[in-house]
Chain A
Amino acid sequence: MASKEGTDRRDDDEVCPVCKSSRYLNPNMRFLINPECYHKMCESCVDRIFSSGPSSCPVAGCRKTLRKNRFRKQTFEDIGVEREVDIRRRVMHILNRREEEFDSKRNYDDFLEQREEIIANLVLRIDVAKTEAQLQQYAQENMQSIRNNQALEEQEATSFQARMTLEQEEAQRRRQIARQEYESERRELHAGREDFLSRLASGTAADASAIAKEGHKVLLKKSSARRSEEDRIRQKQAALRGSETKRTGTPLTTADTAGTSSGLIKGLRKIKTPEPEKPYDPFMGLVPEKRDYYTLQQSYPSAYLDNLQKNTQVSAGGYNLQEYYSRTLLEAFAGLGCFVEEEVSRREAEKVSKPTATEGAAMAAVKEN
Chain B
Amino acid sequence: MAASHRVRRIGKEIADIRADTHSQIGIEPFGDQDDVTHLRGSFPGPPGTPYEGGTFAVDVKIPTDYPFTPPAMRFETKVWHPNISSQTGAICLDTLSSAWSPVLTVKSALLSLQQLLSTPEPKDPQDAEVAKMMMNTPAEFARVARKWTVLYAGAPPKPDEETQDAVASTQVATEEDNLARYQGYNKDLVDRFGNMGFDVAQVVDAFQQVKVDRNAGEDYELDPVVMANVTARLTLRATTNAVASERVRAALRRAREARQSATPSAAGTPQTGSDAESKVGDEKAVDCLTPEEELVFVRYYCETLLELGDEYKPPLPTAVRATAIQYLRRFYLTNSPMTYHPKTIMACALFLATKTDNYYMSLRHFTDGIPGKPSPDEVVAPEFLLMQGLRFSFDVRHPLRGLEGGVMELSAIAQGQGQPSPLQPHQTPESLKNGLLSIAPPPTPSSSITDRIGRAHTGTRELLKTAAQMTDAYFLYTPSQIWLSAFFLADRPLAEFYLDTKLGGPITPTAASTNPSGLQNPLYEMRTKVFKAQMKNLKRIAKKLYKCQNPEKANLSQKRDSAQPPTSAAITDSGQVTSESETERLAKKRKLDEQKQRGSQDLFGPELVLDRTK
Contact = CB atoms under 8 A, between A and B. Distances in A.
Q: Do chains A and B touch in the complex (CB under 8 A)?
A: yes
A335 B502 contact: no
B478 A340 contact: yes
A294 B421 contact: yes
B270 interface: no
B401 A336 contact: no
B198 interface: no
A179 B479 CA distance: 96
B415 A301 contact: yes
B494 to A, nearest CB: 14
A367 B479 CA distance: 18
B409 interface: yes
B433 to A, nearest CB: 13
Contact of A328 (B391, B393, B401): B401
Nearest to A327: B401
A293 B417 contact: no
Interface in B399-449: 399, 401-406, 408-409, 411-412, 414-415, 417, 419-423
B480 interface: yes
Contact of B405 (A329, A337, A340): A329
Given A328-B405, A337-B514, A369-B235, A297 B480 contact: no
A297 B513 contact: no
A340 B417 CA distance: 34
A239 interface: no
Interface of B: 235-236, 330, 333-334, 390-393, 397, 399, 401-406, 408-409, 411-412, 414-415, 417, 419-423, 475-481, 483-484, 502, 513-514
27 contacts: A292-B421, A292-B422, A294-B419, A294-B421, A294-B422, A294-B502, A297-B412, A301-B414, A302-B408, A325-B408, A329-B408, A330-B405, A331-B402, A331-B405, A332-B402, A332-B483, A333-B502, A334-B478, A335-B478, A340-B476, A341-B476, A363-B391, A364-B393, A368-B330, A368-B475, A369-B333, A369-B475
A254 B215 CA distance: 80
Given A332-B480, A363-B391, A301 B411 contact: yes
A340 to B, nearest CB: 6
B403 A369 contact: no
Contacts, number: 107
Given A295-B422, A301-B414, A364-B392, 16 more contacts: A292-B423, A293-B502, A300-B417, A301-B412, A302-B411, A325-B405, A328-B405, A331-B401, A332-B403, A332-B405, A332-B409, A333-B480, A334-B478, A334-B480, A335-B479, A364-B393
Contacts of B417: 297, 300-301
A331 B479 contact: yes
Contacts of A329: 405-406, 408-409
B551 to A, nearest CB: 26
Contacts of A360: 393
Nearest to A290: B422
A361 B236 CA distance: 18
B408 A328 contact: yes
A338 interface: yes
B475 A328 contact: no
A-B interface, 5 closest residue pairs, ranked by CB to CB distance from nearest: A328-B405, A335-B478, A364-B393, A332-B405, A332-B402
B423 A293 contact: yes
A110 to B, nearest CB: 58
Contacts of A369: 235-236, 333, 475
Contacts of B392: 364
A292 B421 CA distance: 7
B421 to A, nearest CB: 5
A308 B572 CA distance: 46
A294 B425 CA distance: 10
Nearest to B424: A293
A339 interface: yes
B441 to A, nearest CB: 22
A232 interface: no
Interface string A333-369: 1111111110000000000000000001101110111
A296 B476 CA distance: 29
Contact of A295 (B390, B402, B421, B481): B421
B523 to A, nearest CB: 16
Main SS of the interface on chain B? helix
B590 to A, nearest CB: 33
Contacts of B481: 335-336
Contacts of B406: 329, 332
A367 B411 contact: no
A331 B422 contact: no
B325 to A, nearest CB: 14
B55 to A, nearest CB: 39
A5 to B, nearest CB: 85
Contacts of A73: none
A127 B390 CA distance: 83
Nearest to B477: A340
Most central of B330, B406, B483 by chain A CB within 10 Å: B406
A63 interface: no
Interface string A291-320: 111111100111000000000000000000
B480 A331 contact: yes
A307 to B, nearest CB: 15
A334 B402 contact: yes
A297 B484 contact: no
Contacts of B415: 301
Contacts of B235: 369
A365 B474 CA distance: 11
Most central of A294, A325, A332 by chain B CB within 10 Å: A332
B513 A334 contact: no
Contacts of A293: 421-423, 502
Given A293-B502, A297-B412, A331 B477 contact: no
Nearest to A330: B405
Nearest to B476: A340
Contacts of B333: 367-369
Given A327-B401, A364-B391, A295 B479 contact: no
Nearest to A340: B476
Nearest to B475: A368
A365 B397 CA distance: 13
A295 B502 contact: no
Contacts of B408: 300-302, 325, 328-329
Contact of B409 (A300, A335, A339): A300
A317 B421 CA distance: 32
A328 B542 CA distance: 41
A192 B136 CA distance: 112
Contact of B478 (A328, A336, A361, A363): A336
A294 B480 contact: no
A336 B419 contact: no
A152 B335 CA distance: 77
Contacts of A364: 391-393
A334 to B, nearest CB: 6
Contacts of B412: 297, 300-301
A360 B391 CA distance: 9
Contacts of A325: 405, 408
A335 B480 CA distance: 6
Contacts of A332: 401-406, 409, 480, 483
